[in-house]
């Protein structure tokens, strides 16, 4: 059994190693290449997590009451003034089309097969016959742009602020920032979004409160369009960044403080290094790694809040698509959005964990 | 008999000493207590404002009244008194948090002990499952569950929310079980032929109490968070009126544009206070038991 020991302060969240079945020959090869063994083990965990999460998602959404096919046929009848009762054949045909025939386990196997082999989520109900994956591909860039950029900015700023707050602990500024973070770190960011909308969009009228760009400007790589996108993105992004910075500040400070008592910092100080260098090159470098893992772990949570922010700003991202799809019982799109979010979050976590050994020479392996 | 009385004494005495030693913890608990008192005063406030009539009945007063001494926070789109509505719904939010917190903590403790104390493949399976629920975006799943739940009681809503908030508690408690089970006094108890249950009850639980507290606060926070999220986009379980629901009706009826600010500023302020209080309790407890984190050294 190979195992990996990181010198992280907080190793609690890490699930225990999941044993993977390997042949004896493979085992000896892996024993000689601990890095490869770590990668294989982490990838095995990734596959298990992926399967578990996608399965949980599938069965959860089948709980939603209502008959999507009836809803679909009613919509068709309204749109085309088609007054004839839908025959059993028509219903069966559509059930097959949407992957809703057979019992729930048949549907589950069908869904997993389509997903894994064909990368196909089936047709969207509201936008029939457009495949659900095409529907979400239109909204995905908006969410990646909004959530991805603001999450990264919040992480970087929060890390810096937290390092500083730990470094200058006891000083007034650092203590005010820390206490503010304790107060506000757990406030949902759509609260901040609401307040920002009220102040900057309704009261002052400085910034737009809805949509992702001005619909009068044709979408293109023109300065006007990009400017409009940025202008519309400021408020939703600010809400994610503000709360994110507070959260990262608090956790970075907690990681920083034990490091600040280490002897090598005293030595660096005695050598006469500048405080700024000691902070960034000695102290922060030794405590930012758990935050890389924590960044990955926080993404799912950020996505949850992002659903609300997008809904509030009528932002055309995955969150708005999800809420619309749920209201319309569009099963395939609901599952497509959720599965996409799950796949992205788990994959980013995998990548970050695989990067860790390259970021930190202290990560040790033994056979 | 002696040992059990002594154990109970230890379990009771410890929290008092802990609260005294941490201003953050004390502050958090005081704010929590004030919020609970406000929620409990709901019938009194209703009587004072309604003068016998129901101040939250539809069309009890004129619509969209601005704040005045008779209606400190004005009235809403249906002519209901906003203050009475907010205090009533806060009581709902707190109850949901308490119910979901208790259920989650109970599940969390059981899972944490099974995983942390027994170890092996049980730990691997349980920890992987807990990890999945903590990493993936669970809000879409909560929306699905909420759509499934029609005409539910507060208890059922709490149960529903705890499905997603127990991993918070389980994770915190498991890591403590792991660190405690190899401590010398636990080893000693094991060597002296104490049964597994006896070790758990007399040696582990008293030392875990603060972390069970942290687990409860985190789970309650997660549950209130989840419900407010559902309500704010109008997809909450029908029939439950919590603070999130008030925010939702403020947004959907255009209170933001009408200048009826108390309708969304006050619920947000109350929830912010609640989140801050629960977080102060969390951080206070963690600092007491992990003194390296304290700012004054």
Find, in chain B, the residue whose alpha carbon is nearest to that of A342. B136
H helices of A168-317, in order, are: 172-184, 189-196, 223-260, 263-271, 275-277, 289-313
Contact A289, A299 (CB under 8 A): no
The predicted structure's pLDDT at residue A286 = 77
- Mutate which of A60, A166, A199, A299 to test chain B, going by most B C-beta atoms within 10 A? A60
**How many contacts (CB atoms, under 8 Å) link A and B?**
167
pLDDT tens, residue by residue, B218-267: 889 888 888 888 888 878 777 778 888 888 888 888 777 777 778 888 88
> Which residues of chain B make contact with A297, given a CB cutoff of 8 A?
134-135
| Mean pLDDT score across all residues of chain A | 78
- CB distance B121–A301 less than 8 Å? no
* In the predicted structure, residue B15 carries a pLDDT above the cut 70: no
Q: Taking the CB of residue A302, how many other CB atoms lie within 10 A of it?
A: 22
Listed by number, the residues of chain B in 132-171 with a beta carbon closer than 8 Å to a beta carbon of chain A are 132-141, 143-145, 147-148, 150, 171
The nearest CA of chain B is from the CA of A170 a distance in Å of 7
Percentage of residues in chain A with pLDDT exceeding 90?
A: 8
Q: What pLDDT, in 10s, does the model give residues A275-310?
A: 878 887 778 877 788 888 889 888 888 888 888 888
Cβ atoms < 10 Å from Cβ of B163: 20
Q: Is the pTM of this model over 0.90?
A: no
For A211, residues 6+ apart whose C-beta sits below 8 A from its C-beta are A232, A313, A314, A315, A316
Rounded Cα distance between A335 and A136, Å, is: 11
A156: pLDDT confidence band, cut at 50, 70 and 90? very high
CA distance B260 to chain A (A): 11
Q: What is the token pair recorded at B204? A: 């582990």
Q: What is the pLDDT of residue A3?
A: 42
Instruction: Name the pLDDT band for A70 (thresholds 50, 70, 90).
Output: low
pLDDT value for A78: 65
Contact A151, A244 (CB under 8 A): yes
pLDDT given at position A157: 94
Among A196, A198, A302, the residue to mutate for chain B (most B Cβ within 10 A): A198
pLDDT value for A66: 66
First to last CA, chain A: 7
Which B residues 62-121 touch A at CB under 8 Å? Answer: 121
Residue B17 binned pLDDT confidence (cut-offs 50, 70, 90): confident
B129, B139, B148: residue with CB nearest A63: B148
Closest CA of chain B from A255, distance in Å = 8
pLDDT at residue B107 greater than cutoff 90: yes
Contact yes or no for B268 and A191 at CB 8 A = yes
What is the C-alpha separation between A23 and A20, in angstroms, rounded? 10
pLDDT single digits (tens) B193-205 = 777 777 777 777 7
- Residues in Cβ contact with A169 at an 8 Å cutoff, skipping those fewer than 6 apart: A175, A178, A253, A257, B295
Q: Is the peptide bond before A170 cis (omega within 30 degrees of 0)?
A: no
Question: What is the predicted pLDDT for the residue at A362?
Answer: 62
Helix (H) or strand (E) holding A335: helix A331-359
Answer yes or no: do A300 and B138 touch at CB < 8 A.
Answer: yes
- Nearest-CA distance B279 → chain A (Å): 7
Q: Would you state the pLDDT for residue A33? A: 77
When scoring A45, A169, A187, A353 by the number of chain B Cβ atoms within 10 A, the one with the most, hence best to mutate, is A187
- A335-344 mean pLDDT: 89
Quick one: tokens of A348?
A: 């980013």
216-235 in B: which are within 8 Å (CB) of A? Answer: 221, 225, 228-229, 232-233, 235
The domain ranges of chain B are 22-61+72-296
Residue range A224-250: mean pLDDT, rounded: 85
Residues of A in contact with B296 (CB under 8 A): 170
Question: Are the beta carbons of B130 and A15 separated by less than 8 Å?
Answer: yes
Just give the CATH number of B22-61+72-296.
Answer: 1.10.3720.10
Task: Say what the pLDDT of residue A41 is.
Answer: 87
Digit-coded pLDDT (tens) for A189-206: 888 888 888 888 777 777
Of the residues A21, A53, A60, A186, the best mutation for testing chain B's interface (the one with the most B CB atoms within 10 Å of its CB) is: A186
- What secondary structure, in 3-state letters, does B230-291 show? HHHCCCCCCCCCCHHHHHHHHHHCCHHHHCCCHHHHHHHHHHHHHHHHHHHHHHHHHHHHCH
């Amino acid at each position: 059994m190979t195992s990996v020991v990181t010198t992280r302060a907080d190793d609690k969240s890490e699930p225990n190693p999941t044993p993977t079945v390997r042949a004896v020959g493979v085992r000896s090869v892996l024993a000689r290449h601990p890095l490869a063994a770590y990668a294989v083990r982490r990838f095995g965990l990734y596959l298990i997590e992926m399967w578990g999460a996608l399965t949980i998602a599938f069965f959860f959404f089948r709980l939603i009451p209502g008959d999507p096919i009836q809803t679909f046929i009613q919509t068709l009848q309204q749109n085309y003034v088609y007054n004839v009762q839908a025959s059993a054949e028509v219903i069966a045909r559509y059930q097959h089309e949407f992957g809703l025939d057979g019992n729930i386990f048949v549907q589950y196997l069908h869904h997993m097969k389509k997903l894994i082999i064909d990368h196909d989520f089936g047709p969207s109900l509201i936008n029939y016959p457009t495949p659900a994956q095409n529907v979400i591909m239109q909204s995905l860039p908006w969410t990646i742009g909004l959530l991805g950029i603001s999450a990264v900015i919040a992480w970087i700023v929060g890390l810096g602020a937290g390092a500083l707050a730990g470094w200058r602990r006891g000083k007034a500024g650092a203590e005010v920032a820390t206490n503010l973070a304790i107060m506000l770190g757990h406030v949902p960011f759509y609260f901040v979004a609401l307040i920002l909308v009220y102040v900057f969009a309704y009261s002052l009228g400085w910034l737009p409160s809805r949509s992702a760009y001005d619909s009068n400007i044709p979408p293109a790589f023109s300065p006007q369009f990009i400017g409009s996108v940025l202008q519309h993105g400021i408020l939703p992004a600010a809400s994610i960044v503000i709360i994110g910075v507070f959260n990262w500040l608090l956790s970075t400070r907690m990681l920083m403080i034990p490091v600040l008592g280490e002897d090598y910092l005293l030595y660096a100080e005695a050598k006469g290094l500048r405080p700024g260098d000691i902070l960034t090159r000695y102290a922060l470098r030794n405590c930012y790694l758990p935050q890389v893992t924590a960044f990955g772990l926080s993404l799912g949570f950020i996505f949850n809040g992002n659903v609300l922010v997008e809904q509030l700003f009528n932002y055309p991202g995955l969150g708005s698509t999800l809420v619309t799809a749920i209201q319309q019982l569009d099963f395939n799109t609901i599952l497509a959005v959720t599965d996409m979010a799950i796949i992205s979050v788990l994959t980013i976590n995998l990548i970050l964990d695989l990067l860790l050994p390259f970021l930190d020479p202290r990560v040790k392996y033994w056979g | 008999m002696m040992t059990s009385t002594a154990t109970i004494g230890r379990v009771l005495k410890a929290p008092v000493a802990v609260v005294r030693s941490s201003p953050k913890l004390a502050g958090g608990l005081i704010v929590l207590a004030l919020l609970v008192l406000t929620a409990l005063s709901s019938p009194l406030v209703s009587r004072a404002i309604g003068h016998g009539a129901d101040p939250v009945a539809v069309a009890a007063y004129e619509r969209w009244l601005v704040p005045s001494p008779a209606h400190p926070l004005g009235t809403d789109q249906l002519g209901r008194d906003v203050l009475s509505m907010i205090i009533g719904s806060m009581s709902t939010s707190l109850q949901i948090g308490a119910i979901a917190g208790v259920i989650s903590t109970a599940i969390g403790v059981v899972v944490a002990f099974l995983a942390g104390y027994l170890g092996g493949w049980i730990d691997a399976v349980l920890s992987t499952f807990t990890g999945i629920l903590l990493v993936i975006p669970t809000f879409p799943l909560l929306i699905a569950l909420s759509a499934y739940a029609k005409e539910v009681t507060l208890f059922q809503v709490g149960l529903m929310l705890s499905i997603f908030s127990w991993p918070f508690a389980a994770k915190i408690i498991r890591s403590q079980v792991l660190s405690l089970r190899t401590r010398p006094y636990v080893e000693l108890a094991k060597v002296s032929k104490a049964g597994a249950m006896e070790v758990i009850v007399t040696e582990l639980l008293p030392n875990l109490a603060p972390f069970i507290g942290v687990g409860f606060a985190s789970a309650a926070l997660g549950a209130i968070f989840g419900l407010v999220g559902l309500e704010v986009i109008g997809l909450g379980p029908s029939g439950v009126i919590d603070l999130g629901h008030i925010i939702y009706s403020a947004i959907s009826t255009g209170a933001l544009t009408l200048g009826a600010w108390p309708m969304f500023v006050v619920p947000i302020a109350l929830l912010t206070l609640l989140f801050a209080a629960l977080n102060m309790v969390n951080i206070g407890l963690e600092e007491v038991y992990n003194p390296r984190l304290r700012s004054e050294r």
